[in-house]
């Protein structure tokens, strides 16, 4: 069997037109085209990329189908995998009292939906838990030989998620609207998660202003030793790099930190 080839990835660090999906979709489409032209097979947009991190969940959920259809067409027309965040409205069969969810979706090159993740940790400090329900599942998708796990913004602060999926993941993608005021936490935690899981970590953040907050980007791709492979500061740009699952396997074989975990001991400390 042939070994998997490195996967070319592109983090699309972009500004967002606040609560205006049509304007934002028109704005990001050329960036996706540039990423595809540069050879990217997986293109990644920020959390809630079409609306900004708004708490008007009900009002923005009505745009879900149009945003999803546009993303599917962008993936199909460029022949790429596309990951993007959006607001998912409450389903008709959802229990009473359910709220919309902060979702991350991957579309395949044929335009079909390949993965859907719901942000497990709503950002209580910003009141997100009052408007969005948290998810309960952490799926992983294999993209052209690379095992990809998707997380959203505040999830980055919870190493439990990353360690739970480390053995089954070559690349963690973290999409975000991470504000400028805490940018050092974002940069530090992305690198730490790569070191802790011995996996690639791609963090894609927005830039600009929205909802009274400023965002400076700092999107980055880190390798399985925590080495920076591609980084950005402020401004709209592409973060381009390659993810090699063979490198993940080699790092884990030569420096077997993950094998030295003792979960049976840790379990005894839980309350």
Enumerate the active-site residues.
47, 119, 153
| Long-range Cβ contacts of 91-98 (<8 Å, 24+ apart) | 98/133
Distances (CA, A) of 151 to 19, 43, 63, 249: 22, 15, 22, 22
234 burial type by CB count under 10 A (0-12 exposed, 13-18 middle, 19+ buried)? middle
H-helix or E-strand containing 147? Answer: strand 146-152
Which letter does DSSP use for residue 79 in this model?
T
Query: Which residues make Cβ contacts (< 8 Å) with residue 142, sequence separation at least 6?
Result: 148
Distances (CA, A) of 33 to 84, 181, 183, 232: 15, 31, 28, 19
């Amino acid at each position: 069997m042939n070994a998997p080839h490195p996967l070319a990835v592109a983090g699309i660090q972009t500004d967002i037109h606040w609560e205006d999906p049509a304007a934002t979709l028109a704005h990001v489409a050329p960036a996706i085209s540039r990423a595809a032209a540069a050879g990217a097979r997986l293109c990644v947009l920020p959390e809630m990329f079409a609306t900004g991190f708004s708490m008007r969940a009900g009002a923005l959920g009505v745009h879900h189908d149009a945003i999803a259809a546009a993303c599917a067409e962008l993936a199909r027309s460029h022949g790429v995998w596309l990951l993007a965040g959006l607001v998912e409205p409450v389903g008709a069969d959802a229990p009473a009292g359910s709220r919309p969810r902060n979702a991350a979706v991957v579309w395949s090159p044929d335009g079909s939906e390949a993965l859907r993740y719901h942000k497990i940790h709503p950002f209580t400090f910003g009141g997100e838990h009052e408007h969005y329900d948290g998810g309960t599942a952490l799926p992983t998708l294999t993209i052209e030989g690379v095992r990809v796990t998707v997380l959203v913004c505040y999830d980055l602060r919870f190493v439990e998620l990353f360690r739970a999926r480390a053995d089954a993941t070559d690349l963690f993608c973290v999409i975000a609207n991470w504000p400028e005021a805490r940018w050092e936490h974002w940069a530090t935690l992305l690198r730490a998660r790569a070191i802790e899981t011995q996996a690639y970590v791609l963090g894609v953040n927005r830039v600009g202003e929205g909802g009274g907050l400023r965002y400076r980007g700092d999107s980055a791709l880190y390798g399985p030793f925590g080495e920076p492979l591609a980084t950005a500061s402020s401004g709209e740009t592409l973060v381009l790099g390659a993810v090699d699952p063979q490198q993940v396997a080699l790092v884990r074989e030569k420096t077997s930190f993950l094998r030295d975990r003792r979960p049976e001991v840790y379990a005894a400390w839980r309350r």
